[in-house]
Each structure stands twice: as structure tokens, then as C-alpha cells.
Amino acid sequence: MAKYNLTLPSMGESIAEATIIRWLKNEGDYVKKEDILVEIATDKIDTEISSPVNGILKKKLFSSNEVAKVGSSIAIIETENQLSKGYKRFYSPLVRTIAHKEGLSLSELESIVGTGYKNRVSKKDIIEYIHLKKCNKIIYPNYVTFSKKNKKDSILYHKAEEEEIVEMDRIRKITASNMIKSKNISAHVTSFVEADVTNIVKWRDKIKDIFQKKTGKKLTLMSVFVECVVKAIKDHPLINISVHGTNIIKKRNIHIGLATALPNGNLIVPVIKNADSYSLGSLIKIINDLIKRARSNQLKPDETKGGTYTISNIGSFGNLFGTPIIHQPQVAIMAIGLIQKKLSIIESPEGDFIGIRHKVYLSHSYDHRVIDGVLGGGFAKKVALYLEKFNCYTKII
């Protein structure tokens, strides 16, 4: 018999701690090597920790919502050569105790539909099953009580038959808190400009098939937008700042955050560190990789830290323009709208004429405490000018 100390692993240079979100095993449970034991979180990243050994989870050293330091022991696993593997699917000790007390057979227990995490049988599930078995009667509650930290503040909410109550997940709670916090901190103002991106669209249409054939990746336009935003930041460095009290902190590095929608509807912002140091071709590879791993929950915690300016592609939802909320502690954010074909007046030495052009709206929200309209609106216009001057002969392959 031996004891194994499970420690909180390192998750990046700037990550010193993590919050225990949920234990997936209970004390006394048998765990196999690579079984997921616990979910942890740092800011917007959820990560799972697996057991490196076979054994029994002897003791949890941290409870849910407690913060553990990197390198500290979070659990003790007791290992031995021979162990009972128990049931075919997971049941908590409480559920197994109730089943034994009520005389339920293993096959009967296996037949119960679980509503818990990963369809596991909860205490409520087994109690309801036993109740139905005894009296063949279903009870539908008309009211649901939501309890706050202070029980006196509990809210009694009438639940209509056609309604379903779903608690926010952790990321949605954090997002809600951050959005309210940002609106309370920053005096939001939004400016809008329209840009002609015909050259960019034609460039992409010309090389996208060759690019995908050679790289196996789709050629998106976000890399061009990032490049143009970076150029505009170099022209207007006071966009690349943060505010601390009455002090303005100027950032030497340009770290661009990309607001990315996840399959479950939540939002995450991976960051391109030192975005001004990459070529357009390198930006394409980096952006494709970050977005792919963001949507499959494979980002490292450090990859969502340190952004100095954020871009949101609302055009991917079919939106023309919007009023994005600033990602604190930054002071500005740009939303890229849907690219549309429009009839436009084109000026030429021979005179004006009407032609079909590809246009896009840029929505630039900025903190009016430190950025006035001249800078905030001028920055948006500068991005538009860089987009319109894009060299359609640019080579990336």
C-alpha cells in the first residue's frame, strides 16, 4: 500500500493558481490511470486533471471553489496491486448505499436514467425511482427556490409548465460579471466607418484554393484585419494603453485578442502575442491554430492573458455593425462586420462612375475617459485606409 500526492500542474509562466471547479470522483472511489478526477479553471480556461495512477481516492485536499497554488497537493490517492473495479458505470457511495438499503439489484440500478454530470445517477434520480416504484406516482413541483448566500434572501420563483430553468455555466457567469464590470468602469463610445475591401476579397478568391491545397487550411481574412489594426496602433499608440486609477499605462508590446465564439455559445479571447512581429503568412497560421484550439477547449491558460487590443468578427454572425464592450483592462475594441457587395460611386481621372464594390463596416468602441472622438474615430478611419490600400499581389505561399 502506498500513497500518491496529486499536485496541481503548471499551466503557463503567468499562472500561479487555479480554482477547483468540480470533483468527478468521491473519496473512497476507485480510479483508473487517466480517469478524469477534477475540473479546474483559471479565468476563462477550464482544464481537467487526470489520475496518473490506479488506486483509491483517499482524500481531497481542496473543496469546490477553493483556490490551489501550482505545485501544491490537491488530493491523495492510495495505490495497491489488486483493487476491485466495482460497477460498470460510476455511482457515488451515497447512491450505492441507497440502492443497497432499498434492495435494488445491479441490473435495476443500471436501468435508472441519470440526470447528473455525464448522465450519472444522482441522489434525486434514485429517490424518484424508488418513489415511483412504490406508489407509481409522479410529483411535479410548482415552485423552485433559488438560495443566495444568506438564506433569508432566498427567491421563490413560480415555475410555469412550459418553462425550463437552466443555471448559467461558469464561463457564462464570468462573462456576465466581466461585461457589467466593463460597462461600469469605462465610458463607452462607439464610432463607425465603412471600408472598401474589394482588393482583399479578390486577393483571397484568387489564392484560397491553392492555399488550402498546399496547407490544408482555409484562408480567412481575419489575418488581414489583424495586420491593418496593428499598423494603425503603431500610428496611434495611445490606443494601446490601459488605465490604473488616474494613471495611463502605455504598452510597449502589441498583443491582439481575438473574440471567438465557442460551440456552446460562450465566448473566449485567445491572444496573439507580439502581433506586430509576424508576417501575414505567419498570422494566418497562428490565427487558424488559436481559433481551432479555442473551439476544442485546448488553449493553455496563458494564451488568453495579456491582450492590449481586441478584435471581434461579428460578420461571422451575419451582423453589419455593433457596439462591442471593451475587454478590461484594455481601452478599445473593434468589431468587423459582414462584407457585402454594394453599388458605389468610383472616382477616376476620366470621371465618376458606378461599380460593384465589397464593403464592410468597422465598429470601434473606446473608453471616453482617455480616448476622445478625434483619436477613437481617427483610429477606425486609419484601419479602414490600410484595408483599402491592401496590396492584392501580396504573396503568402
Q: Which helix (H) or strand (E) holds 228?
A: helix 222-235
User: At 94, is the pLDDT very low, low, confident or very high (cuts 50, 70, 90)?
Assistant: confident
pLDDT value, residue 12: 66
Q: Which helix (H) or strand (E) holds 177?
A: helix 170-185
Q: What percentage of the chain reaches a pLDDT higher than 90?
A: 48
What gap in Å lies between CA 281 and CA 103, rounded to an integer? 66
Contact 305, 14 (CB under 8 A): yes
For residue 201, give Cα distances in angstroms to 283, 339, 356, 391.
Answer: 17, 9, 12, 11
Contact 310, 336 (CB under 8 A): no
Sequence ranges of the chain with CATH classification 3.30.559.10: 173-388
Contact 49, 6 (CB under 8 A): yes
pLDDT in tens, 1-57: 578 888 888 776 667 888 999 999 998 888 888 888 999 987 657 788 888 888 889
Which residues make beta-bridge pairs with 267? 261
Give the single-character DSSP code of 386: H
pLDDT in tens, 190-239: 999 999 999 999 999 999 999 999 888 889 899 999 999 999 999 999 99
Tell the CATH topology of 173-388. Answer: Chloramphenicol Acetyltransferase (3.30.559)
Query: Of residues 9 and 329, which shows the higher confidence score?
Result: 329
What gap in Å lies between CA 185 and CA 17, rounded to an integer? 26
Instruction: Name residues whose C-beta falls within 8 Å of residue 265's C-beta, 6 or more positions apart in sequence.
Output: none
- To which residue does cell 421563490 refer? 156
Which residues make beta-bridge pairs with 157? 144
For residue 119, give Cα distances in angstroms to 89, 90, 116.
Answer: 10, 10, 5
Pick the closest to residue 24 from 64, 71, 82, 83 (CA basis). Answer: 64
Sequence ranges of the chain with CATH classification 2.40.50.100: 2-140
State the pairing for strand pair 271-272/256-261.
antiparallel
The CA-based angle 42-46-48, given to 5 degrees, is 115
Tell me which of 2.130.10.10, 2.120.10.90, 2.40.50.100, 3.30.70.1520 is the CATH number of domain 2-140: 2.40.50.100
Statement: residue 319 has pLDDT above 50: yes
Of 25-34, 86-95, 270-279, 287-296, the one with minimum mean pLDDT is 86-95
Per-chain mean pLDDT for the chain: 85
pLDDT value, residue 228: 97
CA dihedral 335→338→342→347, nearest 10 degrees, is 40
pTM attached to this predicted model: 0.67
Of 33-42, 152-161, 379-388, the one with minimum mean pLDDT is 152-161
Statement: residue 145 has pLDDT above 60: no
> Mean pLDDT throughout 99-128?
79
Pick the closest to residue 94 from 27, 168, 182 (CA basis). Answer: 27
Statement: residue 182 has pLDDT above 80: yes
Statement: residue 114 has pLDDT above 90: no
Query: Of residues 96 and 367, which shows the higher confidence score?
Result: 367
Statement: residue 265 has pLDDT above 90: no
State the pairing for strand pair 309-313/256-261.
parallel
